[in-house]
Amino acid sequence: MAWVFVLGVILGSFYNVLIIRTLNGESIIFPPSHCMSCDTPIEWKYKIPILSYLFLKGKCKYCGANISIMYPIVELLTGLIFVFLYAKFGLTFHFFMSVVCVSIFLILAGMDIISTMICSKYATFLVVCSILFNYNDVLNSIYGGVICFGIIKFLLFISNKCKKEFVGDGDLHLFTALGCFVGMSNLLFTLIFVALFSGMFCVVKFIKKSLNQKDYKSILYLLWFGISYFLTFLTRMNNNFSCLWLRLLIFVNLILSLFYFSRVLIRNLKKSQSSLFMPVSPFVFLAILCYMFIF
C-alpha cells in the first residue's frame, strides 16, 4: 500500500502545479518549475514532495520567500486519500474513477481558497467522471445532478434579481458534479454536511468580525442561539428533561435568536454584495470525503 501513498503524494505535487498555473493562465508544462517570487528554476532535489518543504523550512532556497503551506498539505492529503480509496475499493475501476473525481474536487477547492473562483472547465469534466463513477446506477447519478443543477439555477436567478452575488456560474457546475457523484439517494445527506461545514466557517467568521468591531452583543446572541439548540438536543435525548415550560423557553429562544440573525443578515446584504460570498468548494470537498468514508 506504500506505493499508493507515494503515487498520491507525487500527483498531489502535480495538483499544486495545476492549481497555481491554471489561476495564473500559464501552461502546466512550460516553463519548468520555478519560484513564484524570483522566477529561478527549481532544482530536482528541491522538488521532492513534502520533504523538500521540510528541508527548506518553508522558504525558497534562492530568494528566501515563504513557500505556501498549501503545497505540503495538498501533497499529504492526496496521499492519504489515495490510501483510503485503495483500501476501500482495491485495484478496481471504482478506485480509478474515485481517485479522478476526488482529485478534481480537491483541485477546485484549492483554486477556490486562493482566488474564490472555480474553473468551469474542470468542473464540467468532473460531471462526466462522476457519472462514470456511478456506471452501475447512472439514472440515480443523473437525477442527483439535475436536482443540484435546479437548486443552484434557482439561486442564480434570485442572485441576479437581487443584484447580490452569493452564487456564481462555477458553483452551478460544481454542485451538478456533486449531485452526479453522490446520486439522488445520498444527496440530502451530503448537502447537510456541506451546510454543516460552511455553517461552522460562517460562525467563526461572524465571531471574528464581531470581536474586531467590539460587537459583543452579537456574540451573546450567537451563544444564546447555540444554547437553545443544545437544550433542544437534550430534550430529544432525555424525555425526563422535556417539561412544558422548558419547551416553551426553547421555542421563544429560537424565535428571538433567529429573528436577530435574520435582521443582521438582511442589513449586511444591503451594505455589501459579498456578505454571503465565500469559497464553497472546500466545504463540498469535505462533504465528499465524509460521503466516501461512510458509504
At 136-191, the pLDDT tens digits run 999 999 999 999 999 999 988 887 777 666 677 788 999 999 999 999 999 999 99
Q: For residue 271, what pLDDT is reported?
A: 59
Rounded Cα gap, residues 258 and 228, in angstroms: 11
Among 112-121, 178-187, 233-242, the minimum mean pLDDT is found in 233-242
Enter the DSSP assignment of 1.
Answer: -
At 14-47, the pLDDT tens digits run 999 999 888 888 877 777 777 777 777 877 777 7
pTM (2 decimals)?
A: 0.83
Rounded Cα gap, residues 202 and 194, in angstroms: 12
Closest CA to 35 of 15, 51, 58, 55: 58
- For residue 242, name the pLDDT band (cuts at 50, 70, 90): low
Q: Is the dihedral of CA 170, 171, 172, 177 positive or negative?
A: positive
- For residue 253, name the pLDDT band (cuts at 50, 70, 90): low
Q: For residue 3, what pLDDT is reported?
A: 92
Q: How many CB atoms lie within 10 A of CB 270?
A: 10
